[in-house]
Every structure is written in structure tokens, then in C-alpha cells.
Structure 1
Amino acid sequence: MDGRGQGGFGESGGFGYCFDSLRPERRFAAGIDRTVPRVLSVIATLDGSGAEKQFALLNAGLQARGWDMHAVALTRGGPNSQPLDAAGVPLTVLHKALKFDPLCLARLRRIVAKLKPDVIHSWMFTANAYARMASGGRPVVTGERCVDRWKGGWQHAVDRRLIGRTARVVGNSQAVADFAIERGAPADLLTVIPNGVEPLTPDPSFRANLLSSLQLPPDSQPVVFAGRLASQKRPEDLIWAFQLLHQANPSAVHLIVGEGPLRERCERQALHFGHAHRCRFLGHRQDAAKIIAAADVLWLASEYEGQSNTVMEAMSAGVVPIVSDIPSNRELVADGETGFVVKVGDSLGFCQFADRLLSAGDLRSRMGAAAGDRMREEFSVDVMLDRYEALYRELLDEKAGP
């Protein structure tokens, strides 16, 4: 996922701030047993994107396991505030208003001084910078969630300058960890903890209602893309792939979930190719996960990724993915076993494998079952929680000393 959408220093947010955020102690639970390890988690926003969902899953899951979790969103809350609230994880929003906001940094320092967390865990560039500047010498785990090619020299300079305040750097895939090392992060600080995925169960009635609401025939075979319509994702490759697929398989329909700067261009291409009547641009959808689970095939053409939550959700639902041949995708998809991997930009390859899967229900079922098994065994939320617990306890042991 493009790091620009994840709360970089360029993100502004609102200019006001709630009175409680100036007095964070009002927001934190009282009477907590301080023998329980306390973790302060920091992120830029709690929007509806993949990293924010992982943030909510981790904090809610560890709170349920008995950890004392506290969350801070630097700029704003969002849909992923709800799981935190349901799990009883206290959340403070600091309403960062500037690219670099000294007031926000001061508020975060006050929170650290008040809470005295045993570990601070930050997520992505902006939160990583603020958390390390506000840490007061406490161990900081920074989270790298993407192969952030958008970063310029000054962002890398900030990361290098603050590396001395970093206890660990966590990448959600080996590809992300390797990218961080290439950009100067010490290899001995890097660890890889993949995302956790909640199991999805396809709902036949939802699929039927979805097709009906989109005025598509009930026997349609949905091929789904879900993500930002931006150059990183190469959605135009998939518009062209569907032009070929539609001619080979008239039952195929293309469902495109998401927004982005290339949406209008993709819509024009679909009209130009003459298959717009079989495409539906759905925009942002709160039920995106259900749409993914209702697909016959999911495809992702990205030229770079961190670790795709969309692909993981599809696989957990038994939907076979067709993905571009990049390192992070190869960590998820075993080519020919749990999905198919094609070269970046190979629209014909996307078409051929989609047609093969749509035409062979037994192959689709067999590969979908293997994909679901892999997610349950290697990428479950419980496995993710276990790995973070082990990391935090390692840091606590180091802090305690011999």
C-alpha cells in the first residue's frame, strides 16, 4: 500500500483538537495492575486501510490476552477506532495539524511521561518519527508496512537519524525488511512478523444480492480487484486483461473496489474497449471484505507492495488469487498451488489464468482450499499475536537485564 496514504508528514488532518487530548490522563483507564506489561501503540490515523486494520487487530487481541494496551492516533481516528473501543483499549487522538507539529509532539511526550509504557510500538513513517522523538529512552518498536518507494532523501535521513532510538524494526514481509536494510536500517534490528488475517466465509446470499444490486446476471463469475486505483497497483493492466477475458468468457464480470487518481482513466478505458457493461466501479465499500469473499478470482497487478491484506483475505475465503511476480506476493502465493503468479505488466497472463480458473470449477476449489489452509496455518491472527508477544517479552527481558 502506498505510504503516502498512511499518514506521512504531508498529511494535515483537522486544525482543532479536543480538550481531552491535551489532558491524556483523562482518557486512560485507571486502577490498572502495573505488573501487567504496558504497551503504547502509535499510528497516524485509524482510517479503513490495511495497516490500520492490523493495528486494531493487534491492540484488541493483546488486550484480550491480558496486556495493558493504549493507543494513540496522531492525526485522526476512523473506522478502525471501533474495534479498539469494543476491546476496551483506551484511545487518544492528538489532531496533528502541521507537517511537523511541535504541539502534537509535546502532547505525545506528556502521554509517555504519564503512562510510563514498557514498550512503545509505532506504525509507519510519521508515527515512527514522533514516537522515537517522544520516547524518553523507552524501547521503541517501529513498524515498516510497505516497500515505500515514495520516500525521498529527507525521509530516509530522518529514519537514519533516529535509528539510535530504535529497539527493533518490524517488517510485515521479508520484502519490506530487505527494503529497509537497503535504505540503511541495521540488519540486526530487523525482524519479520507477517500480517494476521481473520478468516472469511463466503456468503452465497450476499453474492446473489450483490450481483442483483449491480444488475448483473445471477450466473456471472466475478473477478475482483480491491485496492487504491493508483499507479503502484497498475489497475490499467487489469482493465486490458479483462478486455481479453471478456471475449474468452462472457460470464466473467469485473468488480473494482476502491478509489484513486486513475479511476476516471480506467472507466474511460473500459468504455473504449467496449466492456463497460461487464465492469462495475464500486468505489469505497464498507463491505469490501464480503465482496472479496464473493469472488471467483481475485487479481492484484501491483509493481510493489508490503504485504497485501486483500490477497490474504481472499485466500482465507478460498478465493484463488492471481498476482504480480513481486517478492511480497511470492511470500503469500505458492505459484500453481495456492494461486498464480505472473510477470508485472503481463495482462495476457492475468487473462489466461483467470479464464483457466473460471472454466475449471474443480481446479478453483482445490486451489482455493489450499489457499485457505495456508492462511489458517501460517497467517492467522493468533499466530501474529504470538509473534508480537514474543518480541515484546524479548525487549522486556533486555530491559530488565541479567
Structure 2
Amino acid sequence: MLRILHVISGLGRGGAERQLIILSRELLRRGHDVLIYTLNHAVPRLPELKGSGVEVIIDHKRLRLDPLVIARLRRTARRWGAELAHGWLYDGNIYTRVALRGLGIPVINSERSDNYRLSYVQRLGYALTRGWETALIANSHAGLAFAGPLHRIPADRGHVVWNGVDLAKVDLEARAAPALRGTLWPGQEVSIACHVGTITPPKDHLLALDTAAVLHRRDQRWRFLFVGDPWRDTGSYQRAVQARFRELQLESVCRFTSERTDAIAHIAASDVLFSTSLLEGFPNVVLEAMACGTPVVSTEYSDIRRILPLSWQVVPQRRPEPLAAAIQRAACERRSVVTAQRAWVEQHATAERSATAMEAVYTLYASRNSTRTASPTPASWTV
């Protein structure tokens, strides 16, 4: 059994954090020891680890590259007896590279998205520490192809491990859907299309609103549920989305909700989930919809064509008309779509399958660990 150290900025509501929690619980269930080391105090997902036995250390960096945090992380890795370290997202990648340099502990870095732009400082950080990582794990084939030139890691040290979903947990959370649906547009016979994501350019809410307008003109029974961000005037893109919303006069048919812990219930309460993303890694929201029985329609990005089982579910044109048509088809063919989606998840993307694939990569590199601690010290906090 392995002692696995995960390093991540925090335990926020993002997809990487969600996958880290799912993975950690499953690895611990299999007999491995797991320590999560966060680089800041933002840990709203921490209660999800309650009673799991996963060890957690919450640190807080005050500089972009904080030497005190680096020293504490290095000391922790040695005392705890880490046999392998996995960095998550940019900060996790850089801090594992720098803090564990020269300790003989294999360092796995991650790529969780595809085709995005890094800042000059981020690129410089990767360039100055290139080769300090042992291997890289991406959560999509597109992400691995993107990361190859960026990290210049040998092809045989790049691996793809798709995200996984806890089917039992999804099934449990989806039970709240019927009651929830009745509160969304009470007293109305409606069809609901759900869109999940923060209001940022990569999620393309402008296209989502245009699609809603087209679909509602075709069939006035459609309503639209946007989960992930309340209305707020915090930037030029948010203001552009609000302006488009008012221009299209969608006030009576759209609801915006803040980031929620019950997002799965909202997805399950909907007739269709639609994604308008420009870029993603492996989309957790799509996976959860497939698992809970909601048909999915998506624009084309990353590995989405490998994920959605029916070719028409992926719309290559970034235009509202074909997206609206695909949403209507998904609603009409709901039974066959739901069956195909759930079968795909069970075959390719359960928490158990994802953990098995990750475990195989960990075992491959942990066997090369040159310094193992005979009497490791427990971390300061076990959840």
C-alpha cells in the first residue's frame, strides 16, 4: 500500500477539487494512506471528507511562491513518509516540483483542461522547473496533447485518467429532483434545460442565452435554469451577459442560481443539460448528468465526442439554432439517450474505474521511490 501526498491550492467548488475528494476516499478505502496539503484556507469542500480518514493539512501561502510554505511542505513530505506526490492544477504542480526537489519522491503533475492560455509568469514557472516532475496525468486525451509541448515530458511519462463519478452518491442526491422541480416554475407545465457553470468566457453564456431565446421561440414551454453564478456586476463579461439577457427579454423564462452543493438535484430535475463550453478537460457536470439520467447536448471541445455516446449529442457549429434543435431531440429521445449515457458511465467513468487507473500510474512510479521513511509521522489533522 502507498502513502500518497496530494497538493492543491484549496478545496473549493471546482471540478479538480471534486475529483480529488472522490479519488482520495476511494484510495483510502483500498488501503492506501492519503494526505491532502492545501496551499490556502479556502476549503468549503472539507466537510465532504468528514469521517473518511483522509489526512488534511491546511496551509496558506502569502506570496506567489512562498518559501515558508515550500519549507513546510518539504518537511511534511519527509516526516509523513510520502512515497509519491501528486500536484493538482498550476500551484500544485509548481509547489510539488520545487518543494520536493531532490528528495527522491516521484512527483506527478496534472493537466485538468485543454487549449487555454497561461500567463507569462506561469509559463516561466513551468520553464524554470521543467524536468523536475516525474510524470504527468491529464484527465483528457486533448489535455495530454495540449500539455505535451508545454511540459516537454516524454511520451511514455504522459498518462490519461478520465474523471470518475460516485454512482451511489449521485443516485442518492438525484432523489430530491422531483420535489425540487415543483418549486422551480410552480403550477406550470414546462420543459427545463439546465446549464451549469460560472459566468466566464470559457463557458460561453452568450451562446447559451442565444440558444435559450431560439428554443423558447420554437416552443414556449421551455424554461432555462442556470446553475453556478448569481447575477453580479463583477466584470466586463458578466456585464455583457446581463446586457444580452435583457436584450433577448428572457426574464420570465430563465432562473440564475448561485454555486450549489445540490447541483446534481438541479440537473436531475431538468429535461436536458446543455453545455456551451469553449474549452474543458473532462467535464464533471456532463458526467454527473449522464449518471443521474438527464440527456446531455454539448458544443464540441476536448474529449466530448469520446464521452457522449450518440454523435448528434455533440454540435460542431457554435450557433444557437443547431444547439436548440439538438436539445429538442434529446428531450424527445430521452429514454434511449439516458440508457446509453448510464451504460457509458458504468463502463468507463465510475469512481472505482478512475481510481483503478490512477492507482496503476501511482504504483508504476512509486516503485522508483529512492527514499522511504521507516517510521512516518501522522499528519496534524485527520478528517
Normalised by the length of structure 2, the TM-score is: 0.88
Q: CA deviation at 1:318?
A: 2.0
**CA RMSD across the alignment:** 2.1
Structure 1: which amino acid aligns with 2:276?
A
Q: CA deviation at 1:148?
A: 5.7
Match of 1:183 among 129, 142, 150: 150
1:196 maps onto 2:164 in alignment: yes
Match of 2:63 among 91, 95, 98: 98
1:237 maps onto 2:210 in alignment: no
Partner of 1:169: 136
Distance 2:115 2:225 in 1: 27
After superposition, give the CA deviation of every residue in 1:156-176 in whole Å (9 maximum; x if it has no partner): 232233232211100000010
After superposition, give the CA deviation of every residue in 1:277-330 in whole Å (9 maximum; x if it has no partner): 010011212211111122211111111111100011011112111111123222
Match of 2:219 among 234, 249, 273: 249
Partner of 2:363: 393
Note closer, same or farther for the CA distance 1:184–1:39 as it changes in structure 2 (3 Å cut). Answer: closer
Distance 1:64 1:184 in 2: 33
- Contact conserved, 2:130 with 2:151, CA < 8 A, in 1? no
- Contact conserved, 2:111 with 2:136, CA < 8 A, in 1? yes
Partner of 2:126: 159
Match of 1:293 among 268, 281, 288: 268
- Contact conserved, 1:194 with 1:379, CA < 8 A, in 2? yes
Note closer, same or farther for the CA distance 1:59–1:108 as it changes in structure 2 (3 Å cut). Answer: same
Structure 2, unmatched stretches of 5+, are 372-383
- Contact conserved, 2:114 with 2:302, CA < 8 A, in 1? no
Q: How many residues align?
A: 361
Match of 1:67 among 25, 28, 32: 32
Structure 1: which amino acid aligns with 2:114?
V
1:130 maps onto 2:95 in alignment: yes
1:352 maps onto 2:325 in alignment: yes
SS at match of 1:95: coil
Match of 1:220 among 184, 190, 193: 190
Match of 1:334 among 301, 305, 309: 309
Partner of 1:108: 73
Structure 1, unmatched stretches of 5+, are 1-35
Partner of 2:284: 309
After superposition, give the CA deviation of every residue in 1:330-351 in whole Å (9 maximum; x if it has no partner): 2211343xx6111252211111
Percent identical? 26
Normalised by the length of structure 1, the TM-score is: 0.84
- Contact conserved, 2:84 with 2:369, CA < 8 A, in 1? no
Q: CA deviation at 1:271?
A: 2.9
Q: CA deviation at 1:80?
A: 2.3
Distance 1:168 1:85 in 2: 31
Match of 1:372 among 321, 342, 346: 342
Distance 2:62 2:187 in 1: 48
Q: CA deviation at 1:116?
A: 2.3
Distance 2:47 2:173 in 1: 24
- Contact conserved, 1:299 with 1:321, CA < 8 A, in 2? yes
